[in-house]
Structure 1
Amino acid sequence: MDPRLRQVLADVGVPEDAPFKPDPFQVEAVELLAEQDVVVSAPTGSGKTWIAEQAIARTLAQGQRAWYASPLKALSNAKLAEFGQIFGPENVGILTGDRKENLGAPLIVGTTEILRNQLYDAMHRGNDLDAGLVVLDEAHFLGDPDRGVVWEEVIIYLPVRVRLLLLSATVANAAQISRWLNFVRDEPCATVLSRQRPVPLYPLFLSPDGELTQLKTKRGLSAKVRHFLESNGKQGSRWQGSHIPPVGNVLRSLEQANLLPAIFFLKSRSDCDAALDFTASVSLEYDAERAERLNREIDAWLEWYPFLEGQVQIEQIRKVQVASHHAGHLPLGKLLVERLMQKGLLKAIFSTSTVAAGVNFPARTVVITQSDRFNGREFVELGATELLQMTGRAGRRGMDNIGFACVVPGPFNDVALTATLLDSEPEPIESQLSINFSMVLNLLLSQRPAEVKQLLGMSLATFQRLERTEGKPRTKAGPQKVLKALAAALSGSLCPGPEEAVVRRRRRRQLERLRARLAKESESTGSGLWGALTRGRVLMDMYGSAWSVLRREESPEGRGVLLVSLERERRLSKGHPRLEFVPLEEIAGVFMEELNLPQTGGGRALAEAVLKQAPRRPTPLGAPQIERLAAKEANELRERLGEVVSEQEALVCASCPSHEDCLHSKKTLGGLLDQAEDQLAEVADQSHAFWYDFVRHLEFLRSEGFADPQGRLTPDGLWASQLRLDQPVLIAQAIRQQALPRQDPVLLAAILALFVDEREPDFSPRLDRRLRLALAGLRQAIDPMIERLSQWGFATPVLPYRASAAIYAWCQLKDFDQVVEIYGGAEGDIAQLIYRTADNLRQLISLQETHPHLAATARDAVELLLRPPVVVPT
């Protein structure tokens, strides 16, 4: 140990007991909240919940109700217990996707998504939310790429009379968020800031030789750390035999310095589990009394949940008092680890950086082994906010005088970057507003399109863009002038606004091009070889080489096909496939096999698909079979052409008096439409883009029969709005086409799982015949809409069959380990798939009035899904 640390470490210990005294920022926030909305930004663990408790107590004393919204079900469960002790269990209810208890209580705890849905319903019924106070915990989730839109919607939709309290970890632009609330709600909003950690943080460095030293001084990195990096590079030498630090040695060092318990932040789930093996032989201080308490807690937990008995790390927790904690574990296993840590019974946990957000999981020390994080797609550098979340777990209020952040060098840790981030300001919250079909359907329940336009104009994204441009000259004029002129030119047309006109004309042009292409193909596709050469068809040329058709091509020289070689040795360098144009007369034979060739992904994806699917011994087709294939292709082309013609005829444009003028650029209306379309494409970073995207979604809903030309929901749109999930229009289409089983809960759960899993399929599982037929029926029902969604530029789902196969097996009461193997992920992954599938099924249960049989089957399916070891933690 560096001698200079001795004075610091002498202060390690538990602070003296003292009566609780709120910090000045806590008192200030409670006082301000009596008169106005308040945004509180303070470090993790600084006591923001105390502010909420005081505000809730005051609200209940006034005879009003309160809502406490958190981002996670686990946090909501924890707050239910915490608030039950404070206000009495009879006064607290919970409302999440999994639990609905005591909903008549004056205080409701739930997830932010559920609160947003309640606001949707209240707006639809014309009611007011029955609450005098709403607390939005973890409000920095406004900047979350996946879920920030929910926080933004809640703030926009919340009635002005409801007092609003936002509790956030330290963010750079809390004052801007307050100004936005004032902009949205036209009510004063105060900002209460605290930069003071409740427990001071001291950064340490643990070198590979075992010396513990200070990481930095007032002048930057300490001399010892600087010398180490100069000798070993910015990340230090690789640990012997592994990229995981020797956690046993690190634990010993921290224990000798009295710096346990600790949270180790490691790079991946596998690293967290592997770290346990490094501790198997480590000799740590043994405390018999604590070990006895630990075993009692575990035994009691296993008595409640005996299926956890076989979990590998249970015995390691008993033996070494360390645990692994990440999303790959069963939720109840994670909850056990959290409770043991909170009760001070573990020396350390090994976790990914995700534990830093949201879970009440403090320790004396956090160990930083990486300067990057996985964002769901790739590893990126840590930001100051992420590191702030991680170090926020260091130092337990009332239990520690000092918290420590111990930086351990390694192949994934840029030590200098980590040291810099420790002193950096957190990043500002940026709006993550995006338009989706569920939002549009639910807004149309209670709002006319013009009113939705006003709501979108209140978004945080709009406000932030206004602030960025305010007082600065714009290099280009915005679209408002041309849109105003276009609105005037549309007088007498059937378009309610200029944005609708732009979207509708674009769709008209798409359909016209599609119609022309299909008509041309339909005319040229008749009997004979030409009609049978569809994409993917396997054939042989006159030289005996095997190929697969990419597309048919016509030229003045004659007809032919662009082909991709099926022969491995004929690929070009770097894995790209060999392509060649072959005239029709050089085709010697056609085979029964037809490959599924990717539409996108480049040459590598095409080569890989060809090599995986290329048949060893293709089956030749005779002339009659080729004729039948050609006839089938011709019929399918005619059907597709008929569908396009029907959609064209169903367009509002067909009966509009301005029908012709809008298509021609030389006409005033057509010219204005051209300008508007160009300018709307250029200003994607301005607020108007959200309204334009809303109109795009609305026009698709209208074309599919979910909304009428005036933007009102049709009967199908009304019940589809209750499907508050990721793919409402596709699932609604499956319901309309009767492709969801109404009497079979096993099949229904398996099909719904398709819409939950977002992982790209890396294998095709073997499917039971009953499931295979059900999935084929589903694809037949929704594939045409998927194609239309793609034509409109909307993202389409992956729909991996392995998710269906896993849920099908689980609902047939197969062993959990077998289901995990079918799915190909970790236990926690399949548990999340089951939970999310149950959430999707609950949306079908909400269709009790319009689809009672389907709702009843969905209810049975949920009961099949939620059974040990996948049960709802409470």
Structure 2
Amino acid sequence: MTQNYHRRSPHPKRRRSHRPPKKKFAPTIKAGSDERLKPIFEQIGTPEARPFSPDRFQLEAVEAVRHGDCLVTAPTGSGKTWIAEQVILKALERGERCWYATPLKALTNTIFSRFCDLFGKENVGILTGDIKDNPDASIIVGTTEILRNQLYDAMHTGRDLTTDLVVMDEAHYLGDADRGVVWEEVMIYLPSRIPLLLLSATVGNARQIADWLTDLRGREVQVIEETKRSVPLHPLFFHPSGTLFPLVSQKGGKGNVGLYKKVNSYVNQDNPPILAPPNRLPPMGEIMKVLKKYRLLPAIFFMKSRADCNGALELCSGEILAGDPARADLLSQRVDEILTAHPHLSRHKQRYHLEHLAVGAHHSGQLPGWKIVIETLMNEGLLDAMFATSTVAAGVNFPARSVVILNSDRYNGVEFMPLSSSEYNQMTGRAGRRGKDKVGFAVILPGKFNDLRHLARLTNQAPERVESQIRINFSMVLNLLLSHSPQQIEGLLEKSFAAFLLEKKRGRSRGNRRLWEDFTLHLEFLKFKGFVDDDNRLTADGEWASRLRIDSPLLVGECFRLKLFPEDPALMTAMVASFVNERERDDESINRNALPKSLIRTFLTIRKGLTPFAREMLDWGFEVPFLYLHPAATLYLWASGTPWNDVVRFSGLQEGDLSRLILRTADNLHHIAALSAVFPQAAAAAAQAKKAIMKDPIVTTLEEMPAHEEGPVAGSPV
């Protein structure tokens, strides 16, 4: 489904008085480099093998956790996970239990696998909503939402959380617009007796976050900051002729950077040469030859779209891999080893590029299993290049020697906006592999949407501040009312990061007014609809609705109260999919005559039955999702046994988007299945429905793939 959006123009509209000058194309690309790069390129290579020696900041952080809470901020790839491993090891030696929270399921899986190797499978469990394994283990690795839900349960039952240490990885997610609220909730609800270790990329207000947590938890939070990269980074400019230049030059004092003089001359030309015509990708194969000559491979190319990632594969050739027959044979053998046990992935249309060209595309339109294949081969040094969208920069660890940046802006879901310093640092944080590279590189390609001056500023820009993203929702209100009075909840809201920031600016009296007013509005609506009584206690309906920790708990709850949910598992799947759908769908294109009448009838009954309730929510100012038939019909087919490729065609979605719809549906079904004591038939249908849709290729993991010894580094001499 093509998104209908346009780039924001960086300039005001101009009258077209004449044709724009015709762009000059560079002659055939020929590898070259500026003389100032010679000493830098001479540093390229693998560091001497020697026993691991932790950095100063790592040792300081381990010591700090012995005495209380600790916030560690350091560049991507600097070794923050090692700190957690040492702290967890010491906790295990004392017979204590640990919780390791991450923002992404992919990162959770990676950490789980690593911890199983380090601490033994019997000591590690995983909880992601999709996966529940060994939940009583001494170490639990899971998503932050699961930890938040466990805190809700602990507050409700009066039992303490059964852990002695909480580690929150990627803690700067506190400022994430969509999910930061969950991080803030965890920090507010976590008992102060439990030490808290926060691991974060560099942020501009680490001390302020620590001051808030100190005020909140009544114990000092020590900040350990490291600004130096473990592998030095050098930004380069790729001239359309094929010559590499330094991107920036130091001017005077520290922090004052500008474009290198020859790059500045290029930018100032009225009609500079370009690498490709407008709306065309640059010649990736030729660019990779230049990178190969100067030993800058392997590389991650950050593309603006999924289509560009896929299109870039078609512009690559097998010349680089052909020059290294030993690695070519090893790559072919490894791909075959990995994919043999996964029939669907083994037929992937991009397998040829992976196996014969040593390149892969990695983006959210791909199945999770295929992305794991790409990540695995990249980590093993068998690929020359990976073409990815910028979202791949956060949360998954597969660095390369170089990253290649084609655009200085990024689509945020609404419009294109200039890259922030945090986004730039996440991307360039993948350049330079600790223990494998002495130096890393960020290679900037010229293009219509690549502002070289903006990127030059980002190379030395201070990290951005993390702001509070807390907001009130019905699931939060229902769960807090399980164990708190409104007055106690007001006290909790006064402890929020948002209130702390406002208090510093305006005084405590205004610190949490917005949150409290929003909470009161939600509370009054819950009273109006009978989920809360006049004494501000949950009714019977409110108690079971609190278990629906999903995006639309009240709409799903109203379905239960009106007895609208079907008991057929496939129909249950279909209806829930309609609630979790995130995008507009074209229901007019569906041939309804080809769909079961029971599906159409059930869908229309639910939509009609919920209309009065939805109108009331809208009248009170709350958002209400529109229910579409298309996602419902898609998931009905999948739950009913329709082959995967047929479901993909019917859905009109890319495999990764369909996978995400299925996983979100499964997560909602999981919560509905938990209501077996109140709605046994519907809960049983939900449990069967989840089982019906969680099958290959959705559940494909590569945990059982053959182990592989360390191979040669792509793009480097063996």
**TM-score normalised by structure 1 residue count:** 0.74
Distance 1:287 1:92 in 2: 40
Counterpart of 1:174 in structure 2 is 206
- Matching residue's letter, 2:229: R
Aligned match of 2:538: 713
8 Å contact kept, 1:95–1:103: yes
Whose relative contact order is higher, 1 or 2, with alpha carbons under 8 Å and at least 6 apart? Answer: 2
Question: How far did residue 49 of structure 1 move?
Answer: 0.6
The 8 Å contact of residues 321 and 358 in structure 2, kept in 1 or not, is answered as no
Q: What's the counterpart of residue 379 of structure 2? A: 342
Q: Choose from 284, 299, 304 the match for 1:267.
A: 304
SS at match of 2:482: helix
Query: Shift in Å at residue 236 of structure 1?
Result: 6.9
The answer on 1:144 being equivalent to 2:181 is: no
Query: Is the 1:750–1:803 contact (alpha carbons within 8 Å) kept by the matching residues of 2?
Result: yes
Query: Aligned partner of 1:459: which letter?
Result: S
Match of 1:751 among 562, 575, 592: 575
Could you tell me how far apart the structure 2 residues matched to 1:286 and 1:118 are? 54
**How far is the alpha carbon of 1:289 from its aligned partner?**
2.4
Residues 762 and 228 of structure 1, relative CA distance in 2, 3 Å threshold: farther
Partner SS, residue 461 of structure 1: helix
Q: Which amino acid aligns with 1:731?
A: V
Local SS of the residue matching 2:614 = helix
Q: CA deviation at 1:241?
A: 6.0
1:734 partnered with 2:559: yes
Distance 1:382 1:274, change over 3 A: same
**Contact kept in structure 1, 2:321 and 2:327, CA below 8 Å:** no
Aligned to 1:65: 97
Partner of 2:12: none
Task: Provide the C-alpha distance between the structure 1 equivalents of 2:34 and 2:483, rounded to a whole number of angstroms.
Answer: 67
Distance in 2 between the 1:281 and 1:36 partners?
A: 54
Query: Following superposition of structure 1 onto structure 2, how do residues 128-207 of structure 1 map, counting pairs within 5 Å?
Result: 128-207=160-239
Q: Which residue of 2 aligns with 1:371?
A: 408
Q: Any idea what SS the aligned residue of 1:446 has? A: coil
Within a 5 Å distance, the mapping from 1:471-870 to structure 2 comes to 686-742=511-567, 744-764=568-588, 765-767=590-592, 768=595, 769-870=597-698
CA distance in 2, matches of 1:105, 1:789: 42
Matches within 5 A, 1:95-134: 95-134=127-166
Who is 1:43 aligned against?
75
Offset of residue 208 of structure 1? 0.9
The answer to which of 214-223 and 763-772 deviates more is 763-772
8 Å CA contact retained: 2:124, 2:139: yes
Alpha-carbon distance, 1:286 to partner: 2.8
User: Which secondary structure does the structure 2 equivalent of 1:278 belong to?
Assistant: coil
SS at match of 1:34: helix
Q: CA RMSD in A?
A: 1.5
User: Aligned residue for 1:276?
Assistant: 313
Question: Which residue identity lines up with residue 95 of structure 1 in the other structure?
Answer: L
Q: Do the aligned partners of 1:243 and 1:411 also contact (CA within 8 Å) in 2?
A: no
CA drift of 1:98 comes to 1.3
Aligned 8 A contact 1:135 1:165 in 2: yes
Deviation at 1:281, TM superposition (A): 6.2
Q: What letter matches 1:69 in structure 2?
A: A
Letter in 2 for 1:165: L
Residue 36 of structure 1: how far off its partner (Å): 1.1
Q: C-alpha offsets along residues 519-570 of structure 1, whole Å, 9 cap, x if unaligned?
A: xxxxxxxxxxxxxxxxxxxxxxxxxxxxxxxxxxxxxxxxxxxxxxxxxxxx
> Which amino acid letter does the alignment assign opposite residue 583 of structure 2?
R
The answer to whether the 8 Å contact 2:304/2:407 transfers is yes
8 Å contact from structure 1 (residues 38, 189) kept in 2? yes
SS at the partner of 1:401? coil
* Offset, 1:304: 1.8
Instruction: Give the superposition deviation at 1:230.
Output: 0.8
- Aligned pairs, how many? 660
Question: How far apart are residue 282 of structure 1 and its match?
Answer: 5.3
- Tell me which amino acid in the other structure corresponds to 2:290: S
TM-superposed deviation, 1:758 = 1.3
Q: 1:86 to 1:283 in 2, by over 3 A?
A: closer
Name 2:432's counterpart in structure 1: 395
Residues 559 and 610 in structure 2, CA contact (< 8 A), matched pair in contact too: yes
Which of 266, 278, 296 is equivalent to 1:228? 266
In 2, are the aligned partners of 1:371 and 1:412 still within 8 Å (CA)? yes
Q: Hey, what's the Cα distance between the residues in 2 that align with 1:125 and 1:283?
A: 62
Counterpart code for 2:282: P
Whether the aligned pair in 2 keeps the contact of 1:261 and 1:346 (CA below 8 Å) is yes
Distance 2:342 2:551 in 1: 32
1:287: Cα distance to partner? 2.0
Aligned-partner Cα distance in 2 for 1:342–1:283: 19
Q: 1:135·1:167 contact (CA, 8 Å) conserved in 2?
A: yes
3-state SS in 2 of match to 1:393: coil
Q: What code does the residue aligned with 2:300 have?
A: I
Residue 180 of structure 1 aligns to which amino acid in structure 2?
Answer: W
Code of the residue aligned with 1:84 in structure 2: it is C
User: 1: distance between equivalents of 2:318 and 2:96?
Assistant: 58
The one-character-per-residue Cα deviations of 1:609-638 (angstroms, maximum 9, x if unpaired) are xxxxxxxxxxxxxxxxxxxxxxxxxxxxxx
After TM superposition, list the pairs within 5 Å mapping 1:419-438 onto structure 2: 419-438=456-475
Matched, 1:440 2:461: no
Whose radius of gyration is greater, 1 or 2?
1
Q: What SS class does the counterpart of residue 151 from structure 1 fall into?
A: helix
Return the offset for 1:410: 0.6
- Cα 1:407–1:138 change in 2 (3 A) is same
Give the Å deviation of 1:736: 0.9
Q: CA deviation at 1:425?
A: 1.1
Q: Output the CA distance in 2 between the equivalents of 1:43 and 1:468.
A: 30
1:322 corresponds to which of 359, 367, 387: 359
User: What secondary structure does 1:848 align onto?
Assistant: coil
Q: Which amino acid aligns with 2:544?
A: W
CA contact (8 A) 2:166 2:195 kept: yes
Give yes or no for the alignment of 1:298 onto 2:335.
Answer: yes
Contact 2:586 2:630 in 1 (8 A): no
Identify which of 449, 452, 459 aligns with 2:496: 459
Deviations 1:645-702 (A, max 9, x none): xxxxxxxxxxxxxxxxxxxxxxxxxxxxxxxxxxxxxx7xx52110110111111111
Aligned partner of 2:447 in structure 1 is 410
Is the counterpart of residue 20 in structure 1 residue 52 in structure 2? yes
Q: Per-residue deviation at 1:831?
A: 0.7
Give the equivalent residue in structure 1 for 2:288.
251
SS of corresponding position for 2:191: coil
Describe the SS at the equivalent of 1:755: helix
